[in-house]
Structure 1
Amino acid sequence: MKADFLNNLNRGHSPRLLKRVFGSICMLWIAVAIGQQTPAPAQVQPITIEGATAHLGNGKIIENSLIMFADGKLTFVGDAKMKIARTGKVIDAKGQHVYPGLIAPAKPLGLVEIDAVRATDDQDEIGGILPHIRSLIAYNAESQVVESMRPNGVLLAQITPQGGRISGTSSIVQFDAWNWEDAAVKTDDGIHLNWPNTFRRGRWWLGEPRGFQPNKDYQKDVKEVATFMANAKAYDNDTAKEVNLAYAAMQGLFSGAQKLYIYAHGEKEIIDAITQAKAAGVAKIVLVGGYQAHKVASFLKEHNIPVLVRYSHTLPFFEDDDYDFTYKLPKLLSEAGLLVALQNTDDSNFATRNLPFYAGHVAAQGLDKEKALELITGNTAKILGIDDTYGTLEVGKSATLFISKGDALDMVGNQLSKAFIDGRDISLETHQTTLYKRYMGKYDGK
């Protein structure tokens, strides 16, 4: 029977499809083995949180707060001293802190589970220019990696494909769902472009010197991007004799329906990338990474370019940079008047759960603590275009928030007691917490 199944499965199907089927089977086995968390039911009664210090995500604090929400929406955010009737279930949060759900931009969360198992890795497609690749349909809502974000307060993310010159199209999801349809908050919000580098590492296997070398193909690479954008703008869905999926996928950039996320670090690359994109007619641009963005801050401000700045837990690029440069870069850009939020680690999806601690590190370099919080809440929501619903604690917005026993931007204080997504009381249990309880019992002698 097993042989017949495999024969039927192989007959007439591509290796890519077989890979995805096998990956789905692997994920099912993993979910059954570890006990995947079931998404929380919709909110059925009003909830009141009283007494906590509320950090609104817009730079404001309410020391003794009263927060109420019903049907997934915030109905009251104010001082607990106000004479207003408490409704529904009342949570006494005295001595604790309330925050809006943290937002992780530009990460392939849910697209790769285990790096060493190819069947679970769907973050990068074959090819160099792939704006028509939609990350959302490959998103695994039952990912263990995604589940591990919630206990640190990371409740939403921009799911972003990786690799190539144009990686594809991202979407924004919330982290408590049955499938990608349920998870979607904003679909196909932007296209991601990895701008060419003026320098690259020497390819020693081809006899080139080690270390960074000038990229002789830089102008050629730039011309390739510029030509593609020009052709995409000239493409007309209504009159084209043949459908070109790549050109069709780019149309939202020219109408303003989508944003172009440009990954660039060097001063020259940043200026070249934004200049070329503007010349091509791209309406909305976001700079991602921006290691030397502080050197061209006036240029970015002139063109109204927000920055998803490179994460702080890393070493400087260059030997003559200050040792603490990466820690203070977000502060430098914020003081220059730019709209700034924090990008996530380049190294690991799991490390994305450290997002609040990146903001805490920035605060330790002198940025006001509430301004640092904005880098992972209100500012991120503005840049991603979801600030009408998420990112801050304001009446009428989604009740996506969490209660922490201490300072959520500190590794010691970040201990969640409750978390809600669209008013739903979500589980904070994960594979890691299950193992922790199991082995704590073992070593306690129980």
Structure 2
Amino acid sequence: MTSFKQVTALLCLPISFMASSHDMLPAAPQSQAVLFTNATVHTVTNGVLEQSDVLVANGEVIAVGQDLDQQEQVNSNSATGSELTQAAKADYLAELETAHIIDANGKHLYPGLIALDTTMGLVEVEMMRPSNDAYEVGFINPQLEAITAFNPDSEIIPTVRVNGITHAQVVPQGDGLAGQSALVSMDSWTIEDALVESDKQFHLYWPHVRWLSTDEDKRKEQLADLERRIDKVFNAFADGKRYLLAQQAGKVEKIDLRWQALAPLYEGKGQLFIHAQSQQQIEQAIALAKLYNFNIVIVGGYDAWRIASALAEVNAKVIYTQTLALPKRKDEPIDLAFKIPALLKQAQVPFALGFSSDWNSRNLPFAAGQSVAYGLTKDEALQSITLDAAKVLGIDNMGAIAPGYKANIILATGDILDPMQAGIESIYIDGRKIDLNNRHQQLYQKYLKR
């Protein structure tokens, strides 16, 4: 017979597993200015600047230009982005005098990469249910917040950020209205430390049939069920709107957390991220957006380039997640998924690249590099995983190396989009130099000594 102690130990196994954490200490807040000199700076907002300097202080980029350590540059628009007041000049010079200087001659500076549509910190081992907090039961759960399940100590985080990813959008998965996502820093002690302030981000997984049956009766059942689920989506948003109107009129008799949570979406203070791939799904999503004047982002977006004008009508943006995928239809070219970023660019659809995964989202920069081989320029590909990714989330001070932007910076010896020569030497988040050690490197070093 199993003893009480044995039962207790078995019950504690999932808890002890989840309690494990990585060994890397989060960096302390930036206390000293840093001056990178003589670097090739990929600003994103102002092209690529050769032999240029970047001054970083208090977690922000202060100046970008040549010879920043020379006093005559203090008044230069090219260095600071605007004329400085006398007080600002004094602060600028004070930061320069105490700055830690890093000679980046022959090296590259890139903005930190932003991984969209991830389950970072929600999943530790995909095949172990106790370590997977990405899903919740139910079809309508707009009140659920993925950030509450985020684990800033996940072993996966250091293995992903070593490829230049400084921030990740943590997204709930599920059916229908799955909940709310959040943008997090990849170096933090707590959830509160990790969270980046942004507008509300609601996620709707548009109903679809994965595989239509060849049996006629079964096919009719599938299509009827699909119609019911789509109706359920529209009915949910109608209920949410009625609840908001009743609340505004002071006539709510029973509080419903689901519809309370949705209120910012109707008020234009949030975005609805609609996970949809096919043209039909996206057109249905656009119809929903028009009903309530929602701000929407299409996630997936395989067919988005085909209906650019319809997307433009509702000012929709796209997170394209299929850069390394196979074609979705038998009669499509084998490389169509690779070309779609360029097709979106040609169609003038605002988009960013995402990589829907947890640990595998570390391949985001290489997916962007793939898009360069199929039509995007290097600058456009880099922008799609930095500045454009920030814009999709409504954040205007991340994704570039320019005065006033957060000091999320990558120092590398080569092309960040090329897995064979990226050569990342150091990464800064909010001006803090983070530890690039991780579980993979520890195991590599361990077995070298075998």
The TM-score, its normalising length taken from structure 2, stands at 0.87
Once the two structures are superposed, the pairs formed by residues 225-244 of structure 1 within 5 Å of their partners are 225-236=233-244, 237=247, 238-244=250-256
**Equivalent pairs: percent with the same residue?**
34
Contact 1:170 1:187 in 2 (8 A): no
CA drift of 1:27 comes to: 3.1
Give unmatched runs, 5+ long, in structure 2: 74-92
Once the two structures are superposed, the pairs formed by residues 188-207 of structure 1 within 5 Å of their partners are 189-197=200-208, 199-202=209-212
The letter for the 1-side match of 2:182 is S
What is the total number of aligned residue pairs between the two structures? 420
The 2-side partners of 1:157 and 1:194 are apart by 19
The 1-side partners of 2:191 and 2:449 are apart by 36
Aligned to 1:265: 277
Contact 2:305 2:349 in 1 (8 A): no
Aligned to 1:426: 434
The 2-side partners of 1:272 and 1:379 are apart by 25
Aligned to 2:340: 329
Aligned to 1:26: 17
- Structure 1 residues 362-413: Cα deviation after superposition (integer angstroms, max 9, x where no partner): 01112111011011000010010112x2111111111111111100000012
Aligned to 1:63: 50
Q: Structure 1 residue runs of 4+, over 3 Å off? A: 2-7, 21-24, 80-87, 202-209, 236-239
Counterparts in 2 of 1:92 and 1:296: CA distance versus 1, 3 Å:
same
- Which shows bigger deviation, 301-310 or 74-83? 74-83
The 1-side partners of 2:277 and 2:269 are apart by 26
Q: 1:52 aligns with which of 35, 39, 42?
A: 39
The 1-side partners of 2:435 and 2:4 are apart by 40
The 2-side partners of 1:186 and 1:65 are apart by 31
The 2-side partners of 1:118 and 1:41 are apart by 34
Contact 1:200 1:213 in 2 (8 A): no
Aligned to 2:362: 353
CA drift of 1:95 comes to: 1.2
1:247 paired with 2:238, answer no
Counterparts in 2 of 1:188 and 1:204: CA distance versus 1, 3 Å:
farther
CA drift of 1:247 comes to: 0.8
Aligned to 2:106: 95
Once the two structures are superposed, the pairs formed by residues 22-421 of structure 1 within 5 Å of their partners are 23-28=14-19, 30-31=20-21, 36-58=23-45, 60-80=47-67, 83=70, 84=73, 86-87=96-97, 88-186=99-197, 189-197=200-208, 199-202=209-212, 208=218, 215-236=223-244, 237=247, 238-279=250-291, 281-345=292-356, 348-387=357-396, 389-421=397-429
The 2-side partners of 1:170 and 1:424 are apart by 25
- Structure 1 residues 226-284: Cα deviation after superposition (integer angstroms, max 9, x where no partner): 111011011134531111111111111111111000111111111111112320x1431
The 2-side partners of 1:357 and 1:405 are apart by 16
Q: Indicate the SS of the match to 2:441.
A: helix
Counterparts in 2 of 1:22 and 1:124: CA distance versus 1, 3 Å:
farther
Contact 1:200 1:214 in 2 (8 A): no
The 2-side partners of 1:56 and 1:23 are apart by 45
Counterparts in 2 of 1:297 and 1:213: CA distance versus 1, 3 Å:
farther
Contact 2:38 2:51 in 1 (8 A): yes
Q: Indicate the SS of the match to 2:323.
A: coil
The 2-side partners of 1:259 and 1:367 are apart by 27
Counterparts in 2 of 1:438 and 1:333: CA distance versus 1, 3 Å:
same
Give unmatched runs, 5+ long, in structure 1: 10-17
Counterparts in 2 of 1:408 and 1:300: CA distance versus 1, 3 Å:
same
Contact 2:175 2:207 in 1 (8 A): no
Aligned to 2:447: 439
CA drift of 1:5 comes to: 12
Q: Indicate the SS of the match to 1:235.
A: helix
The letter for the 2-side match of 1:274 is I
The 2-side partners of 1:313 and 1:342 are apart by 11
Counterparts in 2 of 1:89 and 1:213: CA distance versus 1, 3 Å:
farther
Contact 1:195 1:264 in 2 (8 A): yes
Contact 1:404 1:413 in 2 (8 A): no
Contact 2:409 2:428 in 1 (8 A): yes
Contact 1:49 1:90 in 2 (8 A): yes
The 1-side partners of 2:216 and 2:421 are apart by 51
Aligned to 1:15: none
Counterparts in 2 of 1:393 and 1:4: CA distance versus 1, 3 Å:
same
CA drift of 1:214 comes to: 6.5
